[in-house]
Amino acid sequence: MFCIPIFLKVGAKLVKISQILLANSNILCTFAPHLTIYNQILFSIMYLDAAKKKEIFEKYGKSNTDTGSPEAQIALFSYRISHLTEHLKVNKKDYTTERSLTMLVGKRRRLLQYLQDRDINRYRAIVKALGLRK
């Protein structure tokens, strides 16, 4: 068991949230009573765990252990892209995350191009399933 001190910028000052205790994948939280954004903090700590990855791979890949197919990779990248986009809406000056997002979009674009060149039907199916094109 270990403790992670977390600070939030509220206005012009930093406010320390008491602490988050992590033990055996159970998250116990004690927060300052006036803060109501603890759900966002918990979500950002572990937004993509092994169970979520298996769910994505099972839905878009051939099986839940199929981690290498282009469809599974594109679906995983899309999930990560949507998470980073939401993060950047709140943290506009987080340029490191912005660069990571740009690189991730490029990876997904290259995989989509590869899939389009190899098998147009699989490409159309994954684009439709993820809602990537209008």
Domain that holds residue 103: 50-130
Tell whether 39 and 61 lie within a shared domain.
Answer: no
Q: What is the 3-state secondary structure (H, E, C) of 90-120?
A: HCCCCHHHHHHHHHHHHHHHHHHHHHHHHCH
Instruction: Decide if 67 contacts 57 (C-beta within 8 A).
Output: yes
Which amino acid, residue 134?
Answer: K
Whole-number mean pLDDT of the chain?
A: 79
**pTM: predicted TM-score of the whole model, two decimal places:** 0.67
* Same-domain pairing of 77 and 120: yes
Predicted confidence at residue 4, as pLDDT, reads 57
Q: If you average pLDDT over residues 33-47, what whole number do you get?
A: 55
Residue 26 has pLDDT above 90, yes or no: no
Do 35 and 68 fall into the same domain?
Answer: no
